[in-house]
Structure 1
Amino acid sequence: MVRIWLVSIMVCSAQAASAELSSLFPRATAAPEIATRASLFASDPQIGFFAPRPEPSLEVAPKVGTGSDPVDHLLSLIARAEAGSAGYDAVQHGARVKPAHRPTDMTLGEIYQWIADTPGQPHAIGRYQFIPSTLRRVADVRGFGPETPFTAGVQDALALVLLEDAGLSRFQAGELSRRRFMHNLAQIWAGLPLPNGRSYYEGHAGNSATMTWATFDGGMARIWGG
């Protein structure tokens, strides 16, 4: 009887871990909660100004950021500004020493090792251009260890943490205006513009907006219905 009980616990634990890893978008019945709001550039020379908030339960349904859900389209809009055509395999162009493999063929541990082995250069990586400190933080929020493959689905799951940092749940609940949400997104991703067309981090470490305000504003209006 003891052996059967232990096996049952192990099976249930494995199923729960699998569900966590394969999920991305919040269920409609989930109560909106707010994550720790820390800029993509926190602990970096490019400093953001978000204050800490309680972390949410990021329970999500299986999807990758290429579907028809509004959040899928938002992820694609951000990726357009951050990664361009390189998508999930993007590496910051200023990195003199690139990873030995495509990012999607690496584990988080291999990416951490590449970062450690190549000091003094930019290390933004993936579709959402995670910098080292942010990558470690959002991976920790998700519970992704060094053995986790840096797949498209994993990158999207990590980006969802940053969307919550910007106030996604509050925006969807009507508690945050679209313009304020866009401003928060621009504080996280340097490629997104402010209404004046400039990056929130304009001039810091060579950053500038990579899309116009009209494109950003128009894209958000199409995604969220005007």
Structure 2
Amino acid sequence: MLRGMGMLRLLICCVILIWPVVSRAEAVSLVGDGVFGPARGLITRTAMPAQVAPNGASLFAGNAAGSLFAPFPTALPQGASLGADADVVAHIRAIIGRAESPFAGYDAVQHGAVIRPDKPPTQMTIGEIFAWIAATPGQPHAIGRYQFIPDTLARVVAQTGARHSDRFSPAMQDRLADVLLADAGLPAFMAGQISQQRFMNNLAGIWAGLPTSSGRSKYHGIAGNQATVSLAYFQAEIAKIAPG
């Protein structure tokens, strides 16, 4: 009996010694002070933004059913290669910009947004962009040169490691759009692994202002979407940078 009481006291002492260490342990965050706020644990698949629906009421539309917006596509950290030189990437961005935001460019806000931000998007931080989105439900929120819609913006911000305090500058918008260029298969296209037509259709599956090989937007008629540039123009411009 006395021996059993001694063992019990020893066990209690061990628990008392260990408990402060356990109670102070805290999972580290993979987000830091990003757009999702101060994270208290590791990102899980269920914590990722919802996939983009094609009826997002914007010139930009995602392919919810396909692989372009899988929950964990390959991340593209700052400085990662797209398999193309800077001039090629800039050329493709310009094609998309002409289709999605031909007038306001990096400061474009979807025309259906009744309550617009109180300053140009390029003068806002990413956190301010998300605050505007949260404060104005029930209207379209596509924004910037590449007409990012909220779910897509949240995803590419998380993938690049951009922070809540970062400005939504032209350089930042380009960096975020490059994630989508990787999704569309730009590295594979430049390596000759996919055809020009497939690459173009991939781009058109992301940006509704671009035509598919049918000549029409993949999302034609959905929330007013339509191709805003011709197939002939799109083909001619992509042919300028096609490998070989």
TM-score interval, smaller chain = 0.7 to 0.9
**2-structure distance, mates of 1:113, 1:59:** 24
Structure 2 counterpart of 1:69: 87
Structure 2 counterpart of 1:50: 66
Moved over 6 A (4+): none
Q: Find the residue that maps to 2:235 and give its secondary structure.
A: helix
The yes-or-no answer on 1:197 pairing with 2:207 is no
193-202 or 134-143: which moved more? 193-202
Structure 1 counterpart of 2:201: 183
Structure 2 counterpart of 1:134: 152
Q: CA deviation at 1:222?
A: 1.9
**1-structure distance, mates of 2:139, 2:87:** 36
From the superposition, tell whether residues 107 and 70 of structure 1 become closer, same or farther in structure 2 (CA, over 3 Å). Answer: same
Q: Percent identity?
A: 51
Structure 1 counterpart of 2:186: 168
**2-structure distance, mates of 1:73, 1:57:** 19
Q: CA deviation at 1:85?
A: 2.0
Contact 1:70–1:224 (8 Å) recurs in 2: no
1:14-33 residue pairs with structure 2 within 5 A? none
**1-structure distance, mates of 2:52, 2:242:** 28
CA shift digits 1:79-124 (9 cap, x unpaired): 0000102110000011111110000000011010111111111100
Flag structure 2 segments of 5+ consecutive residues without an equivalent: 1-50, 57-61
From the superposition, tell whether residues 43 and 198 of structure 1 become closer, same or farther in structure 2 (CA, over 3 Å). Answer: closer
Tell me the matched-pair count: 182
Q: Find the residue that maps to 1:70 and give its secondary structure.
A: helix
Contact 2:97–2:146 (8 Å) recurs in 1: yes
Contact 1:43–1:133 (8 Å) recurs in 2: no
Q: CA deviation at 1:50?
A: 2.4
Structure 2 counterpart of 1:27: none
- Out of 127, 131, 143, the position equivalent to 1:125 is 143
**2-structure distance, mates of 1:96, 1:136:** 22
CA shift digits 1:148-189 (9 cap, x unpaired): 100000000000000011011111111111110000000000
Structure 2 counterpart of 1:106: 124
From the superposition, tell whether residues 187 and 92 of structure 1 become closer, same or farther in structure 2 (CA, over 3 Å). Answer: same
Flag structure 1 segments of 5+ consecutive residues without an equivalent: 1-40, 62-66
**2-structure distance, mates of 1:88, 1:160:** 15
AA aligned to 1:42 is V
Larger radius of gyration, structure 1 or 2?
A: 2
**2-structure distance, mates of 1:56, 1:105:** 26
Structure 1 length-normalised TM: 0.75
From the superposition, tell whether residues 127 and 224 of structure 1 become closer, same or farther in structure 2 (CA, over 3 Å). Answer: same
Structure 2 length-normalised TM: 0.70
**1-structure distance, mates of 2:164, 2:105:** 22
